[in-house]
Structure 1
Amino acid sequence: MTIKVVRGNPTPEELAAALAVVRARAAAVAATPPGAEGPKDAWSDPSRIAGHRLPQPGQASWARTYWPG
């Protein structure tokens, strides 16, 4: 793995801190078994939006579709 500094002049301490974060993240990803997912985010869950069925139109539903101006 190669990391290249594109802008700036980091101090050796800053570069060591950045590398420690990258290595820790890579170790965490490598430690998770294949196919294992973390907890699902509620915002991205499609069942949150379509969790219930919409009401079906009734016998007089056509009368509610027209709103006189």
Structure 2
Amino acid sequence: MTIKVIRGNPTPEELAAALAVVRARAAAMAATPTGPTTTRDAWSDPSRIAQHRVPRPGQSAWTRTYWPA
């Protein structure tokens, strides 16, 4: 990995601090798991309930229900 200073003239201490931050961030990204940690059961998925549009309130809204027929 190469780091190039584009602007300014950092001191060695400033450059070391910036490098420490970059390396710590890279180590944290490498340590995080990639992919799903838990699988979601289709039965508990809330999107299966709201697949259809909800009826709009109106004169006869009390006769309709949320659950699609």
Scaled by the length of structure 2, what TM-score is found?
0.54
- Aligned partner of 1:22 in structure 2 is 22
Across the two proteins, how many residue pairs are aligned to each other? 45
CA distance in 1, matches of 2:5, 2:36: 33
| Secondary structure, counterpart of 1:23 in structure 2 | helix
Identity across matched positions, percent: 82
Deviations 1:11-66 (A, max 9, x none): 000000000000000000001111268xxxxxxxxxxxxxxx87723128xxxxxx
CA distance in 2, matches of 1:36, 1:28: 18
CA distance in 2, matches of 1:54, 1:36: 31
CA distance in 1, matches of 2:3, 2:27: 16
| Secondary structure, counterpart of 2:57 in structure 1 | coil
The change in CA–CA distance for 1:6 and 1:36 in structure 2 (over 3 A counts) is: farther
CA distance in 1, matches of 2:13, 2:25: 19
1:57 aligns to 2:44 (yes or no)? no
- Aligned partner of 1:5 in structure 2 is 5
Structure with more relative contact order (C-alpha pairs < 8 Å, separation 6 or more): 2
The change in CA–CA distance for 1:8 and 1:30 in structure 2 (over 3 A counts) is: same
Scaled by the length of structure 1, what TM-score is found?
0.54
Greater than 6 Å deviation, 4+ residue runs: none
Which is helix-richer, 1 or 2? 1
